[in-house]
Structure 1
Amino acid sequence: MSASFDIDLNDPARGGVFFVTQDDIAALDKAAGKYPLRSLHIDLHGCTDKTSLMRHLNDALHFPESFGDNWDALADSLRDLSWLKASGYLLLIVHGETLRDASEEDFDTLLDVLDEAAEHWFDNQTPFFAFVALPESAFDEADA
């Protein structure tokens, strides 16, 4: 499914949470170079539950020391990001299937939190995109 992306990553109205393949991440990262966005890479390889998810996200996003390692703290932090000064944010999340397969509930909650963050940033006219990479087979299953 690898493709070149012709999406205006500078348009807050286009923001949100999107599923892509692992191969699409490089194209998205390249496309992001055209815009003054903060591109943040999050690797969920080995992430099997909420505890490891919070650790992976903290490692990638460098949350403040006061980060509480819970869903509310994650939601608050993703709606702030003041320590990562930028005109917009592009989260490139790889190996999403690791968490999805190990804990579907935590994966779904993560998607909800990301979606709420995208809505917040839209309301503030700031681009916010979260691209979650899944294997090609996940799209084959969805088409079946």
Structure 2
Amino acid sequence: MTTFLGPHSEADDHLDLLASLGHDVRIVSAAGGSTDKAGVLDAFARDLDLPDWFGRNWDALLDALRDLEVPRGQTLELVWDHVGALRRVDHDTYETVVDILEQVQDERDDVRITVIAR
């Protein structure tokens, strides 16, 4: 189940809790202008240090997220943060990314998703 946090939530407390539980917390930040498809794909590539083969399209994002390595026995908490502006400006891109994240979460027992719309 995906966790959605709004602009008035205690997002930083949530992130601290995940880290204290021993989760491998990785944050993709849409802050600073990721308000379109290209910006979102760039943010994922940058913040997750995706491999050179990442083609900056939706299929490549899905494949790259499927291939993320997680230390044995740990849960990967993939956090997509600061998405409020994208959700308002380009709702289709926002929905597409949420769908991709949830697909990866459904396919992998070791992945959990948090989306923060601040």
The TM-score with structure 1 as length reference comes to 0.72
Q: Structure 1 residues 85, 69: CA separation in 2 closer, same or farther (over 3 Å shift)?
A: farther
What CA distance in whole angstroms lies between the structure 1 residues aligned with 2:75 and 2:22?
7
Choose which of 115, 133, 137 in structure 1 pairs with 2:116. Answer: 133
SS of 1:32's equivalent in the other structure is helix
Segments of 5+ residues of structure 2 without an aligned counterpart are none
Higher mean alpha-carbon deviation, 97-106 vs 107-116, is at 97-106
1:61-82 Cα distance to aligned partner (Å, 9 max, x none): 1101111101001111111102
Match of 2:84 in 1: 97
Report what 1:121 is aligned to.
Answer: 108
2:7 aligned with 1:24, yes or no?
no
5+ residue gaps, structure 1, are 1-15, 136-144
Which structure has the larger Rg?
Answer: 1
Which letter does structure 2 place at the counterpart of 1:129?
R
Corresponding residue for residue 44 of structure 1:
30
Q: Is the 8 A contact 1:40 1:91 kept in 2?
A: yes
Alpha-carbon deviation of 1:102?
A: 1.5
TM-score (norm 2): 0.86
- Following superposition, the deviation at residue 38 of structure 1 comes to 1.3
Question: 1:107 deviation in Å?
Answer: 0.5
AA in 1 matched with 2:86: L
| Separation in 1, partners of 2:71, 2:63 | 16
Q: What is the CA distance between 1:42 and its match in structure 2?
A: 1.6
Amino acid at match of 1:18: T
Give the alignment partner of residue 67 of structure 1, picking from 50, 54, 65: 54
Q: How many residues align?
A: 115
Q: Return the letter of the residue paired with 2:49.
A: H
In 2, distance between residues paired with 1:26 and 1:107? 21
Deviations 1:91-128 (A, max 9, x none): 22221111111211111000100010000113xxx2x2
